[in-house]
Chain A
């Protein structure tokens, strides 16, 4: 599904060239739930951008579903993003003036074939993230957690190969964060491939595998022996609150 071989990314700023990613290689199979972890400045955002086809590597190979991304033009890259990647961002990035429904439908506008049932599809996605009663709400009428769930519904609406989440819980309180992680776990259980970028170890451990970045290289790539369960932690949190 994802194949990365000797990936390099160099940013040149005038005479100064900075190697942000060095000899990065890994593969992610269909149905995996992977965290990419690292402190800020370790190149994880750059890696995330390359994985999301928003940026191209300087050298090395990135294959997504067998497609060599490096050779693609803007048009094909855009199509690849639209079809195969569902983005979830730290700042949600919803259109402020559009309803939840319209936000979820947005990727379909850029699809080659606009589905006739676009609205029903978007509604189903919102239902699946527990927002059936918020379909016509605008972002400012929703809580942060709800906004992030709209964003997840938007990521899912095109049936992408992978869901790429960049610090999805970074702007959320603990409870909303756990709710988002619970959705990811459930999506993964249903067979979705999920890649989550985070700096937080506790968040990362909700995944089955952690790729650790350090100074632009992979310092560790390990299975999580016992992934955390967001559902369990939510329960614990609730009883904690009840006890207080």
Chain B
């Protein structure tokens, strides 16, 4: 086909001046490399965010004792969050939530069985704890309503505690001692492993909340209330309603500091994105700037090359090239440069993403999208900045060009 022959003529002229070709490509290379890295990082971050949010609970609002920002464990010394607060919350939002599950946590209470000892976190929980945390027993019975009512001395073990105290033997039906109190082991939880921060989720013992408050620790305050809403769209709004309720109940008037913290899945996502958002923005800017600057450089070098090659253009016209042929040749040249630059940029970006993933410990996911986007962007740059030089070349009068 005639067009392919013309396009081929455009490609041929690239090999001639390799340095110039490289300069024409530089902007595209940098731009596309940055783009590839951004997208890889963006995807990695999104995955990390989703993981964090899923770990936290997509539909969850955590109300924890003690002020401060961010998602931190409840502060043990704070006594202001009370079981009545959980009741009030339950009343306030009963239309919009599935579960309101208060709980109590204590560390550093030794647990013994036989000759072994463990240092788990003791959790005082209500029966709906399992549904609130989507965390169920592997064997045995869960904490039941009956246990709550009778302040039963029963417990459910995390896998780590079970292994420390009982090894491979089935602990159900056995007894252990929390502090000075004897407890019957009712069940064993599924294993949840270790958090990215190194916390062992399985190092826990669940006891009925009433038992924990009355028999173990003799306290009226709780550590947290976990709220699971029906509609994720309501998360933030329900969180705010709970905040206002607790302000009222705790007689807090902002700007006085809260003695509790409310964290929603949305907050978790925000924190997880953290600085990677800012970094992405920076790289997006870099992409844009280098593509535009690179495009301008490309255009200028092409314009210079048009004036340098005036005679060649004149000759081609004399030999039968139409204005369209000349236009296509120079446009093909511009497109070839940007596409080649794109290919190099993708390779470099790919390598850079791997390096970032390894050394910056930022999660990176390499997918096809950045490459597809790179094709689109480089075609746009090649077309946009190639048209002007190509038009100038095509408009040269053959008579004048040949002189």
Contacts and interface: CB of A to CB of B under 8 A. Distances in A.
Given A54-B398, A55-B399, A81-B320, A110 B312 contact: no
B320 A54 contact: no
Interface in A91-115: 93, 95, 97-98, 106-107, 109-112, 114
B399 A78 contact: no
Nearest to A91: B311
Contact of A93 (B5, B9, B311, B323): B311
Given A109-B6, A114-B5, A79 B320 contact: yes
Given A109-B6, A114-B2, A114-B5, A89 B402 contact: yes
A241 to B, nearest CB: 35
B16 interface: yes
B402 A107 contact: no
B271 interface: no
A43 interface: no
Contact of B315 (A74, A75, A93, A158): A93
Interface string B1-34: 0100110010011001000000000000000000
Interface residues of B, number: 24
A194 B65 CA distance: 103
Contact of A78 (B6, B311, B317, B402): B317
A87 B319 contact: yes
B244 interface: no
Interface residues of A, number: 26
Interface in A109-144: 109-112, 114
A107 B316 CA distance: 8
A146 interface: no
Contacts of A83: 320
Contacts of A87: 318-319
Contacts of B322: 74-75, 78-79, 110
A82 interface: yes
B207 to A, nearest CB: 86
B324 interface: yes
A106 B318 contact: no
Contact of A49 (B6, B316, B321, B399): B399
A81 B318 contact: yes
B126 interface: no
A89 B321 CA distance: 17
A74 B399 contact: no
Given A81-B319, A87-B318, A110 B325 contact: yes
Nearest to B322: A78
Interface of A: 49, 52, 54-55, 74-75, 78-79, 81-83, 87, 89, 93, 95, 97-98, 106-107, 109-112, 114, 154, 158
**Which 8 A/B pairs are nearest by Cβ-Cβ distance?**
A82-B320, A110-B320, A78-B322, A107-B319, A93-B315, A54-B398, A109-B5, A97-B16
Given A78-B317, A79-B320, A110-B321, 14 more contacts: A52-B318, A54-B402, A74-B322, A75-B324, A81-B317, A93-B314, A93-B402, A97-B16, A107-B319, A109-B5, A109-B6, A110-B319, A110-B322, A114-B5
